[in-house]
Structure 1
Amino acid sequence: MDMTDLPGRRVPDAPQLRTLLLTDLCDSTTLVERLGDGPAAELFREHDRLVLKLQQQWRGRLIDRSDGLLLLFERPIDGLGFALDYVRGLREISQREPFVSRKLPIKARAGLHVGEVLTWRNSDEAVKVGAKPLEVEGLAKPMAGRLMAMARPGQVLISAVAEPLAHRAARELGERGQHLLWKSHGRWRFKGVPESQQIYEVGEPGIAPLRMPPASAKAWRDLPLWRRPAALAAEVAVLAGLAGGAWFVTRPQPAIAFHERDWVVVGDLRNLTGQKLLDDSLEQAFRISLEQSRYVNVLSDLKTRDTLARMQRPAGTALDRAIASEIALRDGARAVILPTVAEIGGRLRVSAEVIDPHTQTTVYAESADGQGAASALASIDEVTASLREKLGEALAAIESDSKPLPQVTTGNLDALRAYALGQASYASGKHQEALQLYERSTQLDPNFALAWLGQVRVQYSNVNAPGAIVPLRRAQGLRERLASREALYLDAWGAEFDSPADAIGKWVELAKLYPDFWAAQGNAALAFYTRNNFQEAVVYAKRNTAPQNELSAMGWDWLGRAQLGMEQYPDAAKSVETALRHGYKSSLRRKVAILAAQRDFATAGRFLDDLAPNDRHAYIERTSVALDSGKWRDAVATSQTGLTMARHQGGFDSRAMLLPMAVSTWLAGDTAAATRYCATAVNQALGALSAVENADAVEDAELALSASILMVRLGDRSLADRVLDVVDRQEKISAIPSVVELAVVLRAEQLKLASDPESAVKLLEPLLAGHERFQTRVALMGAYLDANQHAAALEQARWVRSRRGLAYIELECGYCLQALNVADSNAAMLAEAQALAGLGRAGDSARALQDFDRYWPVEILPAHLRVKRDELTAVSN
């Protein structure tokens, strides 16, 4: 009865990728005849004990046995370990009695291959009549059989598919793995197999034959055409065509549940060539090639190293199969990719395997060969394209979204290695070292656009926008040498310099096209945040908090800022705490702002003490909190320290810190000094705006306008017209919403000073669209009061008084207006009392004054505020 007719026979499972090992005990019949039944039985008992031990050690599954063995393994290295130990074990058995005295060497031949197989479990009825419990079939099985059959006694042959996978993992064999001998026996043809196969031998010194296998009718070397009969060549071509067409029709679907925008972890490249130059350069090239995909997301090297640290692994731990798989599971990545480069038969081979991190089994493996190191980049492109297709990406998308690596990187491997080391330094926060390496890379290849773009990124990270201009211009001249994503990234940065009003559109476009490109999401969040559009900023900031983002802490910080701008204190506190927990130390400034905005100055003060004393930016919050608390002398001293530090550093900060200094001296009672600081800020900002290229042009325009606004409020309009004229002539910045709005506020303040508050109101009212600046409301509040529109003034005063989160977190000219905003949030209580008095509500006016006195007691007030307060007190009583 045929086995397929037995009841209960199960349908085969879906194809699975497995490692197959076939072995054959050489001359077993002769052994039995020469040994006799008793010693032969002892030999097979020893043999079975050896097989059982090795099965357990190498996690093999025995499928079939007679004179030989058929075993399945999850990984090629396990199959190879079994084969090597099996050959060695038989050698040790043959050195015992009675075998050694009879000079009977006991050897086996072995063939190892990786391929897809079908498995099914036979029913109990079938097993009872002689069927194996588990059946294994598939083209991989005869392939392993062909390798085994052609092997010499004691020889382990492996296929080209299995070789790079086993070679890569050989270090898992310990010290023995370092001494293994790997030998290529060239390309061979097998009967019934259309494609020629590269054959390798692996063995231990003194045990492996390391000789060319003998040819036979079923296996022969693939000789050049001129050495083969023409008829044979034609036959092989026909078979190859038929088999190739059949493969494309019947090729299996991906064996891993990978979907668009899923994540992969790229393990450390295993370099088996001995050429150290290839270590960093090819690993970086592999990442760049794969990152061109909009289908596959690559976990950044910075993120993998961060996760490694959270795993309490030392820095520099190799990302091998096990470690990379654990990182993938922790960070929600679907697959691990392990690249290898090796020199095989005089050719450079680039290979990669896709690993299921849950089982650490190989799902796919791809390789490409080339001649010499110069071929590596093209081979990487070939391998990554194949992997992307197998993971489910459409071929058309691969072709449209990808540019050749030599074009988007560099053919100079020294330059590529310098860039790779620069990337590693940048990921470690060593920005100066990264900058030097990027510069070295562009010295080696001036056309390496990515390295120029790297310099732009470092300069911005160092808050040195002017230093980014030259590399930006060089990168723009090489735009065609960038991958699509990086080209759009460059365009967005270019807009920040050349057309700032259009920059937000560029960042949003990039963020939508590449939703998992964190730089785009972060900069889109920042762009909306700077426009006080906090609702939209929250959308992009939340995307930036994804666990796969290496800078998710920064995303949490931006989210906290936007939430504070909307007065959502509990949410803002949670976001900032998360940012701090993830290591973003700058969020401590936001924590101070959240506490101070709620007038918890005692707690805010404790955290102020934790701010780095050499962080010049932290003196902005130090000054604002001191002013908010009515500590004028502390505010003056603190702002002076910050200004001194900023002047030492130079750049825009040295100009911006003049405005907190002016506010501090004004509230301390020295209006003349405050006016001088404002004038200095205006003149320095206008001087910077006159430069041919000013990376801080928007901030300088905002600073000039802001300082002029305060000057006019102090009664000096001498520089206002000049500021408005210069800013209006700056075409690329005059359309920026913040610049436009501050210019309107300055004109309104001029009108108020000229005793025309009604015209000021007409200018300001159209600005109330929901995203207006804090000073717009302050100016409108004053205009309404001057125009005796007390009900409208009361509404604005209560808005200004209540929006303390916005006062602390609104961003223009590097928080240069924070001190003035915070001071105005307190002074608004005086405006509220004035409006209430004008409405005839004396009791309510008195209560508003009591609130004011609670925060800024009368005995500490500067003269201009004390006079106003005393006047209102007289009216309210």
Structure 2
Amino acid sequence: MLLVLLEQPGQIVTREELRNRLWDEKTFVEFDNNLRVAAAKLREALRDDAASPQFIETIARRGYRFIGDASPIFDTPALSPAEPLPPVARNLQIVPSSQIALEATPPRRGRRRLLLALCGVALPLATALFYIWRQRQPLIHSHDSVAIGGFLNRSGNHNYDDVLSLPFRIKMEESPYLRLVSRDSFAHLLKNADASLAEEMQACRQSNAHALLTGELTSHGQGYELEIDAWRCSNGRRLGTESVKTDSQAGILDALGQASEKMRLRLGESEESLQKFSVPLVQATTSSVAALNAFRLGEEKHATGLYTESQTFYKLAIDFDPQFALAYLQLGRSYSNAGESSLSRIYAQKAFDLRERTTDREKLYISSAYYSFYTGEVHRAIEVYQLWMSLYPRDIVPVNNLAVEYNILGQPQKAVPYARKAIELDPSILLPYSVLAEADLRSGNYTELNRLCSDPAHANDNAVAFHVVCYKSAFVQNNEAVMQHQAQFVQGAAQQSAMLNEIAAVSFYRGRQAEADRGFNTARQNAIANNLPEFAAEIIVEQAGLDADAGHPTQAAQLAEEALHYAPHNIEVEAGAALALARIGQIPRAEAISRKVTAESPLDTQLQFVELPSVNAAIAMQHNQPDEAIKALEPARPYDQVVVMGLSPAYYRGLAYLQGRHWQQASAEFRSVLDHRAASPNSPYILLSQLELGHTLQLSGNSQEAAAQFQQLEEVWKNADADFPPMKLLHLYEHL
């Protein structure tokens, strides 16, 4: 094409002429599209820009012309317009050297003509080979990160305004080859859903990505054309373009899928990988434009933490397409983030039932959510995350969530490397820092934790969980100023109730129960005001458990029933209420609740191996059957530091051994709680274990060490309420 244009520099070469010169009459191709693609590739090779050309100018509806400087090197006649260019790539034959006849050296003019003839063959051949070579070269290196920008609608059909960005991203996320900037971090950098290309390019540079992918939908006759462009973030140059046309609106998603797959190949993904990880977009998302639009609005709300508002749009998307698996998944996720676990389970189950209508990556996402939130099979969830990580080694989600699961299980030493890997994959995402901070806290790695909490980069971190961890760290290190500073960070946040709950727990830890009661009530009211009734119930049931073990049975019973009223279908709340009621001797009620949650969640890891065994042990101790209690708690040993229990399983096991007069075993269990205090540093069960350890040492004849334990408790409870039951029990033990 370049040679044809150079024959007539500055003159228009019509489309028809280019067609005749580039393809013979026996070639059957879509000429207009192929000509446009050829022009785009030529511009790419020349580093030209169609919007402000320096070499190749498009003349609308007519053709192209070369507008750069061109000087002839040889004075040779041009090919006749009727004569096609030599079909070198198709007709060139290699002649064996044995068939070449030796000739005498031709005269000078003959050599010149021979040279010109060879140049006439070699130049287009070299051009063709260079073009083929360029087409086969990846636009980026395998280690380069890629940002996904928006997909503009310039078709005039407003039904597609802001709709195609989501399926475009899903199709690119389907690739295990691409190293993509996370959607949340990129959206955070943009700060504007209607960002321009220049703003997207700036965000791309800020995220240290190499390339930016954008898309555009335009009208084409009676149909549409979908174009995907790759841009180099450093200088804004176009790296490559892929496009697909469709004759109707019904084919838009299919065309988008085809264009996305072509671009994935151009970026360096292999054909084998593309064949393995390729699901039609209509199957992976929805064929309903209205459902896609509602889903998009839900995602926008969810990304800004407006979980309740996002639920309205996810539900609307489901109304438009009841088979929209991703809408169910995100609706369940929004309920989970809002602390509404029972509703989260319902929608996780529905998404799981429809998972075959998604991409492989989304199947993994749905399956992991199903095992985490619906069945509670933590180890199955971990297996899915490990598979996900092996298939998509550049995806941050499974790596970060593995760290989360290990933190939940009370295994922070396993969580730390995954959290660090997640940060390495994308340092711009804030969540992995919260996960790493929690793992450092539970590991007792306060040096590294202090570095994280004091890092100016996190000064404006909006994640309440991060500041809660830093608050606990400051508490362990007895730094009241930092505790107050971290508490102030989250004032006004939708999840502020999480911080208020931890502050109340510290008051209880210090024996100031009246202050703790007010604090728990404030946390509960804050959760309710922010439309988090299930989290409010979790706060209430935690307080009920502490009152039951601290010696306030009447209040414990009232709080347990109140929690069940707020969240009658939340198994964590039900299990917590059953345990509180069993500890105060309301055995029939505790047993009824226990049977209910066992039937509802027979596979839940924490429920079946920790929470219900604790209930059964409490009931056995009420019946003065310590051996049965010890037996009931044996399955909980691997989960003694599980987050939800706050170190209580080993405490209960110690009480059972104490009831059975096994002093040595009881001491070992209470010491285990003290040795692992970092796992839950403001848990009142640390001090309750220390209290009973002192009592056990007394009974075993070790009065000196018992006195040392009691002295430490006196220091912690020096400002405790006079009627704080554990304090009164301490004074009783001291006078035995």
Q: TM-score range by the shorter chain?
A: 0.7 to 0.9
Alignment partner, residue 119 of structure 2:
none
Alignment of 1:695-706 (within 5 A): 696-697=570-571, 699-706=572-579
Helix, strand or coil: the match of 1:545? helix
Quote the sequence identity (%). 20
Q: Deviations over 1:824-877 (max 9, x none)?
A: 2123332232233334333332222221111113873436434532343235xx
Go from structure 1 to structure 2 and tell me whether the alpha carbon gap of 1:201 and 1:305 turns closer, same or farther (over 3 Å shift).
farther
Go from structure 1 to structure 2 and tell me whether the alpha carbon gap of 1:509 and 1:870 turns closer, same or farther (over 3 Å shift).
same
Shift of 1:727: 3.9
Within 1, Cα distance between the matches of 2:634 and 2:298?
51
Alignment of 1:303-702 (within 5 A): 303-308=185-190, 316-320=194-198, 323-343=199-219, 348-468=224-344, 471-472=347-348, 475-476=351-352, 478-496=354-372, 498-501=374-377, 502-546=380-424, 548=426, 552-576=429-453, 581-601=460-480, 603-612=482-491, 615-646=496-527, 649=531, 651-662=533-544, 670-678=552-560, 680-681=562-563, 684=565, 688=568, 694=569, 696-697=570-571, 699-702=572-575
Go from structure 1 to structure 2 and tell me whether the alpha carbon gap of 1:871 and 1:350 turns closer, same or farther (over 3 Å shift).
closer
Within 2, Cα distance between the matches of 1:767 and 1:522?
26
- 1:639–1:664: 8 Å Cα contact kept in structure 2? no
Indicate yes or no: 2:662 matched with 1:784: no
Amino acid at match of 2:431: M
Alignment partner, residue 53 of structure 1:
none
- 2:228–2:259: 8 Å Cα contact kept in structure 1? yes
Aligned mate of 1:804, from 653, 677, 701:
677
Aligned mate of 2:697, from 832, 836, 853:
836
Go from structure 1 to structure 2 and tell me whether the alpha carbon gap of 1:742 and 1:381 turns closer, same or farther (over 3 Å shift).
closer
Go from structure 1 to structure 2 and tell me whether the alpha carbon gap of 1:238 and 1:424 turns closer, same or farther (over 3 Å shift).
same
- 2:163–2:296: 8 Å Cα contact kept in structure 1? yes
| Equivalent residues, number | 661
Go from structure 1 to structure 2 and tell me whether the alpha carbon gap of 1:832 and 1:357 turns closer, same or farther (over 3 Å shift).
same
- 1:639–1:661: 8 Å Cα contact kept in structure 2? yes
Decide which structure has greater helix share: 2
Alignment of 1:286-305 (within 5 A): 286-305=168-187
Alignment partner, residue 109 of structure 1:
11
- 2:226–2:255: 8 Å Cα contact kept in structure 1? yes
Alignment partner, residue 218 of structure 1:
81
- 2:640–2:649: 8 Å Cα contact kept in structure 1? no
Amino acid at match of 1:561: E
Shift of 1:264: 1.2
- 1:597–1:804: 8 Å Cα contact kept in structure 2? no
Q: Deviations over 1:17-65 (max 9, x none)?
A: x9999778x9xxxxxxxxxxxxxxxxxxxxxxxxxxxxxxxxxxxxxxx
Q: Deviations over 1:354-398 (max 9, x none)?
A: 333345444433332332444433332232222222332221221
Helix, strand or coil: the match of 1:458? helix
- 1:538–1:562: 8 Å Cα contact kept in structure 2? yes
Helix, strand or coil: the match of 1:355? strand
Within 1, Cα distance between the matches of 2:82 and 2:342?
68
Within 2, Cα distance between the matches of 1:559 and 1:537?
8
* Structure 2, unaligned runs of 5 or more: 23-35, 68-77, 95-124
Helix, strand or coil: the match of 1:733? coil
Go from structure 1 to structure 2 and tell me whether the alpha carbon gap of 1:474 and 1:112 turns closer, same or farther (over 3 Å shift).
farther
Within 1, Cα distance between the matches of 2:42 and 2:175?
28
- 1:353–1:363: 8 Å Cα contact kept in structure 2? yes
Q: Deviations over 1:673-730 (max 9, x none)?
A: 234334554x659x93xxxxx5x33x23432343235425xxx545343344334434
Within 1, Cα distance between the matches of 2:607 and 2:459?
30
- 2:511–2:719: 8 Å Cα contact kept in structure 1? no
Alignment of 1:739-818 (within 5 A): 739-764=608-633, 767-769=636-638, 771-773=640-642, 774-808=647-681
Alignment partner, residue 153 of structure 1:
none
- 2:339–2:535: 8 Å Cα contact kept in structure 1? no
Shift of 1:438: 3.6
- 1:287–1:298: 8 Å Cα contact kept in structure 2? no
Aligned mate of 1:852, from 713, 720, 726:
713
Within 2, Cα distance between the matches of 1:387 and 1:663?
57
- 1:351–1:368: 8 Å Cα contact kept in structure 2? yes
Helix, strand or coil: the match of 2:228? strand
- 2:50–2:58: 8 Å Cα contact kept in structure 1? no
- 2:640–2:648: 8 Å Cα contact kept in structure 1? no
Alignment partner, residue 592 of structure 2:
722
Structure number with greater CO (CA < 8 Å, separation at least 6) is: 2
Go from structure 1 to structure 2 and tell me whether the alpha carbon gap of 1:546 and 1:421 turns closer, same or farther (over 3 Å shift).
farther
Within 2, Cα distance between the matches of 1:806 and 1:409?
41
User: When the two structures are superposed, what TM-score results if normalisation uses the length of structure 2?
Assistant: 0.76
Helix, strand or coil: the match of 1:616? helix
Decide which structure has greater strand share: 1
Within 2, Cα distance between the matches of 1:726 and 1:436?
31
Go from structure 1 to structure 2 and tell me whether the alpha carbon gap of 1:406 and 1:169 turns closer, same or farther (over 3 Å shift).
farther
Within 2, Cα distance between the matches of 1:728 and 1:770?
18
Within 1, Cα distance between the matches of 2:547 and 2:609?
28
Go from structure 1 to structure 2 and tell me whether the alpha carbon gap of 1:762 and 1:255 turns closer, same or farther (over 3 Å shift).
same
- 1:541–1:556: 8 Å Cα contact kept in structure 2? yes
* Structure 1, unaligned runs of 5 or more: 1-17, 27-67, 69-107, 114-138, 144-156, 174-179, 186-198, 204-214, 222-234, 689-693, 809-817
Amino acid at match of 1:297: R
Helix, strand or coil: the match of 2:735? helix
- 1:347–1:371: 8 Å Cα contact kept in structure 2? yes
Within 2, Cα distance between the matches of 1:586 and 1:220?
74
Within 1, Cα distance between the matches of 2:537 and 2:611?
18
Helix, strand or coil: the match of 1:337? strand
More off after superposition, 824-833 vs 718-727: 718-727
Within 1, Cα distance between the matches of 2:720 and 2:254?
77
- 2:497–2:526: 8 Å Cα contact kept in structure 1? yes
Shift of 1:346: 6.2
- 2:512–2:719: 8 Å Cα contact kept in structure 1? no
Shift of 1:486: 1.1
Q: Deviations over 1:132-176 (max 9, x none)?
A: xxxxxxx9xx98xxxxxxxxxxxxx99642699899977779xxx
Go from structure 1 to structure 2 and tell me whether the alpha carbon gap of 1:863 and 1:562 turns closer, same or farther (over 3 Å shift).
closer
Alignment partner, residue 99 of structure 2:
none
Within 1, Cα distance between the matches of 2:239 and 2:704?
79
Shift of 1:318: 1.2
- RMSD in angstroms over aligned alpha carbons? 4.5
Shift of 1:559: 1.9
